[in-house]
Every structure is written in structure tokens, then in C-alpha cells.
Structure 1
Amino acid sequence: MDARKALLIDAYRCFNGRDVEGLLSMMTDDVEWPDVPNQDVLRSKNEIREYWRGQFAVSDPQAVPTDFEPGRGEDDLVAVVEHEVRDLSGGVLVQRRETRHRYFFRDGLVRRMVVE
């Protein structure tokens, strides 16, 4: 679990620093990622790249892992995350709240993420 936990801590650091390419390097080529606002699943790094670029152009989301919980199987891990979204001038769009992100791994990389 330690290597996966370290990878996710780095991933959240990249997310909060808007390092999209750094984030994508931590994912498999066939990654699946949730598009929560549109209730859809993104199925490639290119789709995720465009999703995040669009999101970061209009908002300032921040996500900080506060804990990690074992998954249901050997290939998953749950990150407990404090999440908040502000507009670009600092106004709160989504109040700080706790969320759970379940990650599935393959070959040391993120294969899929689900928001619970």
C-alpha cells in the first residue's frame, strides 16, 4: 500500500499545482476517470487532459488527502479527501467537504478512479 499511497500523495500535489502532464504520467494508457458534472466516464489521457484544462480555466479546485483506507481487493485503495472548489476570483463554488476517491491500480499506475 505504501507505494500506491505515495503515488496518490504526489498525484494530489500535481492536481493542486495544475501539473496535468505530471498527473497523466501516473496513469495507464487505458485509464478510466469520472466526469462527475456530466455523469460520464473519460476513457483516455487526452479526454482527461481536456477535461482538466477546461475545469482549471474556470475554477480553482483543491483536493487534499487526509487519510487512506484499504480497498476491497488487492488492486484498489481509497483516499479520503478534503475537497473545495472556488471560482477564479476566490469565491466558494463548492464548500469544503469530505469525499472518498477509490483508485484501482495496474503495474504501479492508476487504472481507474471512482468517486464514492
Structure 2
Amino acid sequence: MVDQRLALECFMTNSKHIDLLQQAYAAFNARDIETVLALMHPNVEWANGMEGGHVYGRGAVRSYWEHQWTLVDPHVDPIEFQDGENG
């Protein structure tokens, strides 16, 4: 039998993660770059979908997005969030 406290903790943790992700995507779609960057780890590794490879750190992500937004107007609406094997 699953410990109900553990199940509730997992649900609450997942709920917090989902809330954070929804906040991040809403800020991205609103072009609120400061909010999105504040939610990221300072040493974030971000895929460069336009040129290949990755950019590293908040400053590089900012530069990448600012350049990207001069070329395209991306809008992202996730369908669902799932935990990976590392959470």
C-alpha cells in the first residue's frame, strides 16, 4: 500500500513544478525575459534551436532569445508535463 503522505508529497512537489513551468512559459510568451531568466539556474544550458549546439548561462540565453525574437515570434503552449527518471 502506498503511504498517503508520500503520495501527497509527490503530488504537491509535482504541482509546484507544474506551477513553476506554467509561470515560465507564460512569461516567455509575454516576452517577460527577466521573469523567465530568474526562474533558471545561473549556469543554464539551453539548446540553440536556430543554429545548433547550446548556449550557456542566463546572459547567453538572453542574447539568444533577443536575437531569435527579431527573426520569429515563437509562442509555446505545452500540452502536458511529465517527470523524467531524475524528477
TM tier relative to shorter chain: 0.7 to 0.9
Shift of 1:9: 0.3
Return the index of the structure with the highest Cα Rg: 2
**Structure 2 counterpart SS, 1:52:** helix
Cα RMSD after superposing both structures: 1.0
Normalized per residue, the structure richer in helix is 2
Give distance in 1, aligned partners of 2:70 and 2:50: 15
Shift of 1:28: 1.0
Alignment of 1:69 onto 2:79: no
Shift of 1:14: 0.6
Q: Choose from 54, 61, 70 the match for 2:67.
A: 54
Shift of 1:73: 1.7
Query: TM-score, normalized by length of structure 1?
Result: 0.60
The list of structure 1 runs, each at least 4 consecutive aligned residues, that deviate by more than 3 angstroms after superposition, is none
Segments of 5+ residues of structure 1 without an aligned counterpart are 75-116
Letter in 1 for 2:37: L
Letter in 2 for 1:8: L
Shift of 1:61: 0.4
Query: Counterpart in 2 of 1:43?
Result: 56
Shift of 1:65: 1.3
Shift of 1:55: 1.0
**Structure 2 counterpart SS, 1:42:** strand
Letter in 2 for 1:60: D
Query: Counterpart in 2 of 1:32?
Result: 45
Query: Counterpart in 2 of 1:9?
Result: 22
Segments of 5+ residues of structure 2 without an aligned counterpart are 1-13
Shift of 1:40: 1.0
Give distance in 2, aligned partners of 1:45 and 1:68: 23
Give distance in 1, aligned partners of 2:70 and 2:51: 17
Letter in 2 for 1:4: H
- Report how many aligned residue pairs link the two structures: 74
**Structure 2 counterpart SS, 1:49:** helix
